Amino acid sequence: EVQVVESGGKLVQPGRSLRLSCSASGFTFAAYPVGWFRQAPGQGLEWIGFISSRSQGETTEYAASVKGRFTISRDDSRSVAYLQMNSLQTEDTAVYYCAAPYYYASGLTAWGQGTLVTVSS
């Protein structure tokens, strides 16, 4: 069974940085992309970006709203993906989710329960 767990969310001041973690199990982590998403209070789902597997060059893609501020990385030895968030703004307040494997044709895609990031002074 695929299991995904996000961690690292907390209250942070505007302008500061935060790193979220996404730990996954139940599949060959290194072989698949990992995706990140968020849902702001009262809003819909927003795709943040993804990182491909090492064999696909660990390429990353980002939404325009976070490009240049957020960075996705992975550590296959630990089956963990990271979302580094810099220059946080109040509008980044949201529940952050990851999904793995982020490859729908695998039939295995699962989401974690999410982790809350609150950006406020």
Partner 1 sequence: DIQMTQSPSSLSASVGDRVTIACRASQGITNNLAWYQHKAGKPPMLLISSASTLQSGVPSRFSGSGSGADFILTISSLQPEDVATYYCQKHGAAPHTFGPGTKLEI
44 makes contact with partner 1 (CB under 8 A): yes
User: Which is closer to partner 1, CB of 72 or CB of 121?
Assistant: 72
Exposure string for 44-77, b = 16+ CB within 10 A, e = fewer: eebebbbbbbeeeeeebebeeebeeebbbebeee
Cα 73 to Cα 1, 35, 65: the distances in Å are 24, 11, 18
User: Which is closer to partner 1, CB of 59 or CB of 84?
Assistant: 59
Binder to partner 1 among 41, 77, 105, 121 (CB under 8 A)?
Answer: 105
116 makes contact with partner 1 (CB under 8 A): no
42 makes contact with partner 1 (CB under 8 A): no
* Burial class of 24 by CB neighbour count within 10 A (0 to 12, 13 to 18, 19+): buried
109 makes contact with partner 1 (CB under 8 A): yes
Q: Which residues bind partner 1 (CB under 8 A)?
A: 35, 37, 44-47, 49-50, 61, 63-64, 97, 104-105, 107, 109, 111-114
